[in-house]
């Protein structure tokens, strides 16, 4: 499974940042070893509203560390961050444990969860069960284990990618109403802690 380094930033110019990501910055990050890069702005999320989650996918932790150093050594990247007013608030490392569907859609949800860490086989089984419902309102689901995020209560996050948040939330309601899902939550000790809703920048 791959790793994601997720940076939470604020921006003065989200439109220019999105344009750069779509036109050249994602490709530049690929040259630095990033398998994929996405950016999503939190629209509904309490005090986090307005911030942007930039997620870089890497093949290994070493690749994530090397790529991070390369990013800050690149003159064009530094200019982009300066010109768009980037301020870094936090950076975390997560490991992809299970994924279904595609990372496509104009909108998304990040559900923060607590509880004991799950082994990969259990995660795959549990989220496959959830995807049976979520696919009715979402394009994809990505389950991530928190590896390095500093002190905090959440041990993982579940990212859902969607064209309609109404459809996604309807599927989520259906999901939580399933007795098998309730049983899986009880057996794994997973506890939903909070959710943010996002719009995709690139």
pLDDT band at 109 (very low <50, low <70, confident <90, very high): very high
Cβ of 15: how many Cβ atoms within 10 Å?
A: 10
Amino acid 18: pLDDT: 98
> Three-state SS for 16?
helix
Domains and CATH numbers, the chain: 3-93 (3.30.70.100), 95-200 (3.30.70.100)
pTM of the shown model: 0.95
Residue spans of beta strands (DSSP E) within the chain:
3-10, 36-44, 52-58, 87-101, 107-114, 140-148, 156-162, 191-200
* Phi-psi group of 23: left, alpha or beta (phi > 0 → left; psi -120 to 50 → alpha; rest → beta): alpha
Q: Is the pLDDT of residue 155 over 90?
A: yes
**How confident is the model over 38-91, as pLDDT tens digits?**
999 999 999 999 999 999 999 999 999 999 999 999 999 999 999 999 999 999
Amino acid 152: pLDDT: 84
In 3D space, the residue among 133, 155, 129 whose CA is nearest the CA of residue 144 turns out to be 155
Instruction: Supply the mean pLDDT for the chain.
Output: 97
Cβ of 143: how many Cβ atoms within 10 Å?
A: 25
């Amino acid at each position: 499974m791959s790793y994601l380094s997720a940076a939470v930033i604020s921006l003065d110019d989200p439109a220019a940042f999105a344009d750069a990501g779509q036109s050249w910055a994602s490709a530049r990050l690929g040259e630095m070893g990033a398998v994929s890069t996405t950016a999503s702005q939190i629209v509904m999320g309490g005090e986090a509203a307005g911030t942007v989650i930039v997620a870089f996918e890497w093949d290994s932790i070493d690749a994530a560390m090397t790529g991070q150093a390369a990013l800050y050594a690149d003159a064009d990247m530094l200019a982009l961050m300066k010109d768009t007013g980037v301020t870094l608030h936090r950076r975390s490392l997560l490991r992809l444990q299970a994924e279904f569907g595609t990372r496509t859609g104009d909108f998304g949800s990040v559900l923060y969860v607590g509880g004991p860490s799950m082994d990969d086989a259990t995660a795959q089984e549990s989220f496959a069960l959830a995807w049976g419902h979520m696919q009715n309102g979402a394009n994809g689901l990505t389950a991530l284990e928190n590896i390095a995020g500093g002190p905090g209560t959440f041990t993982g996050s579940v990212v859902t990618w969607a064209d309609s948040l109404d459809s996604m939330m309807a599927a989520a309601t259906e999901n939580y109403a399933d007795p098998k899902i309730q049983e899986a939550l009880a057996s794994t000790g997973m506890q939903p802690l909070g959710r943010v809703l996002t719009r995709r920048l690139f």
